[in-house]
Amino acid sequence: MKKLLYKLGDILSTDEAERRQVQLVNPSLKKFPYLGAIAISPTIFAAIQLVKKGEVAPSHHHSPNAFRFILEAPEDGAYTVVNGKRLIMHRGDLVLTPSYAWHDHRNEGNGDVIWLDGLDAPLVWYLGAIFFEDYFKKYKRSLQEITETEKENVLKYGNGMLPEFEREDSYDPLYIYPYSRARETLFRIKENSNEMPAEGYVMRYINPNNGKDIFQTMASKIRLISPKSKTKKIRKTEHIIFMPVEGECTLKLDNIEYNLKENDIAIVPPWEAYEIVNNNDKDCILFSYSDEPIFKSFGLFRSEINE
């Protein structure tokens, strides 16, 4: 995928493409008009995106919810601006661009930035609710004014407290979830545990306003699988995408095994039994996202964990 992304980067500039992505398409859905070009599952979109050193992707907004999970980034200077908030990106950070939030991407660092894009666009398309608008058409300029930094955003919303003087109730106000915090939490929990839980050490990213998932349509989690360990056999009614952030693992689906290295992407269909196996001497940390909230909203969610 990375080779394809850079090949695309040689062909298209950000001025021509606006967003330069390699999209992960489910072959079984290709027969559906429009949907087949964007869907890794009937409800979820997945792609990897590139912004080269010195490039800018202009501001726009759209009805689908979206996030960026950062795969590669320079030490400093690559950032997304969401509703005026500057969010400097580092590997493993989760950056949100909720429905109708203005967002642009700028790379002033000394290297390229690549991330995993996750959206609920297929579901929104089914609902007939795909809407899009360029920032320039409305404000006659391509980039937003920066009004707040990522440190200020995390300070206000990332410490288990909510400011009474400034509340954002329409969607998750914590636009960035730093990987350094998530990683530290996983290892602290592991250190204070006698035995790995059935699904590994799993932490769910939540909206600090209500304790629910980051979006009403998508859930995101991060988990640690200890060395020489494996999860129980799991079945859930959700389309779930896994990607190792650190280490390697084997994803077992019935009699099929997929060996996953860092940044590899795999999807498990609903109610398909799977196990995650770490046969290595190092911990494996995986990021995942799914449409679990949709199944729960419609009373269709089921979960089964066996030995």
Q: What's the start-to-end Cα distance of the chain, in Å? A: 35
186 and 224 in contact (C-beta within 8 Å)?
A: yes
Quick one: how far is CA 85 from the chain centroid?
A: 18
Within 10 Å of residue 229's Cβ, how many Cβ atoms? 18
pTM for the structure as a whole: 0.96
- Residue 7 CA to residue 201 CA, distance in Å, equals 37
9 and 53 in contact (C-beta within 8 Å)?
A: no
The answer for residues whose C-beta is within 8 angstroms of residue 268's C-beta and 6 or more apart is 239, 240, 241, 242, 251, 253, 274
Quickly list DSSP for 216-244: SS-EEEEEEE-TTEEPPEEEESS-EEEEE
252 and 234 in contact (C-beta within 8 Å)?
A: no
For every one of its 307 residues, what pLDDT tens digit does the chain have, with 9 covering 90 and above? 999 999 999 998 877 877 899 999 999 998 888 888 889 999 999 999 999 999 999 999 999 999 999 999 999 999 999 999 999 999 999 999 999 999 999 999 999 999 999 999 999 999 999 999 999 999 999 999 999 999 999 999 998 888 888 776 778 999 999 999 999 999 999 999 999 999 999 999 999 999 999 999 999 999 999 999 999 999 999 999 999 999 999 999 988 999 999 999 999 999 999 999 999 999 999 999 999 999 999 999 999 999 7
- Residue 9 CA to residue 11 CA, distance in Å, equals 5
164 and 140 in contact (C-beta within 8 Å)?
A: no
